[in-house]
Amino acid sequence: MSPPEQILGDQGRLLPGLGSWNPFIQKNPLRTQYLPFPSPSCALNWSSAVGGQVLFCSSDIVYQRAMVRKRPNILVTGTPGTGKTTTSSALTEATQLHHINVGDLVKAKNLHDGWDDELDCYIINEDLVCDELEDTMEEGGNIVDYHGCDFFPERWFDLVVVLQTDNTVLYDRLTRRGYSESKLSNNIECEIFQTLLEEAKESYPEDIVLPLKSDSIQDVSTNRSTLVEWVRRWQPST
């Protein structure tokens, strides 16, 4: 038997350093390495102990045994000021899902590479953020709130909500925050060009990407109802 060329189901990443055929491979929690298991029973014990992923490979078949989430993970994204935190908080109250504000997490746990004076924000360390969240996301039941979406693993999310706000409404909201002229125009441009919607469509299957209007308080309420209903209907994949 020859070694597999690729592990399917894990964003097509190549298996590094597999000189010889390894039937049982453990995905390292740091996401960067794959380690061989000495035996099938060892692989199964590991899987049941940590609820993690074990990838079973043969020369022409690749099986992935991933933990099945019992509750969904939702990503709420959009340009700054479109209402991600407002919407996520409302949804958390109604569903008991766990709200993860990535900006707050980055600050609290120092998951950054310092401060960017020009952009006036922390330089997020995407690998540290993903490593920090991996176990929580595998468990499911999370609402992730962040103004970016292209660096999270695709498999984490069951729904990707992209909030959108009319430019003039957004301009007023961001002005009220006292944003500098350059930060203001960067964000308005981002909204005009629908940057986050494009990013979401490129990073996730289109059928899980849901754009929602977020201009008014009434929109917050409507979106909350839509999303509560989606959570109620969601079922784990078998």
- Using CB positions, name the residue nearest to ligand ATP: 83
- Using CB positions, name the residue nearest to Mg ion: 85
148 belongs to the binding site for ligand ATP (CB under 6 A): no
Q: Which stretch in 5-13, 33-41, 189-197, 212-220 sits in contact with ligand ATP by CB under 6 A? A: 212-220
- The answer to whether the Cα torsion of 108, 89, 92, 130 is positive or negative is negative
Return the one option of ligand ATP, Mg ion, none that residue 82 interacts with (CB less than 5 to 8 A, by type): ligand ATP
92 belongs to the binding site for Mg ion (CB under 5 A): no
HSE-up (13 A, CA, CB side) for residue 112: 16
86 belongs to the binding site for Mg ion (CB under 5 A): no
Instruction: Say if CB 167 and CB 82 are below 8 A apart.
Output: no
Helices 181-192 and 167-176, packing angle to 10 deg: 150
- The secondary element (H helix, E strand) that includes residue 44 is helix 40-50
> Does the annotation list 13 as a binding residue?
no
Return the one option of Mg ion, ligand ATP, none that residue 52 interacts with (CB less than 5 to 8 A, by type): none
Of 53, 73, 82, 203, the one binding ligand ATP by CB under 6 A:
82
> Does the annotation list 92 as a binding residue?
no
**Closest by CA position to 170, among listed 79, 76, 77, 75:** 79
CA distance 118 to 116: 6
Binding site for Mg ion (CB under 5 A): 84-85
Residue set of the binding site for ATP: 81, 83-86, 177
Residue set of the binding site: 81, 83-86, 177
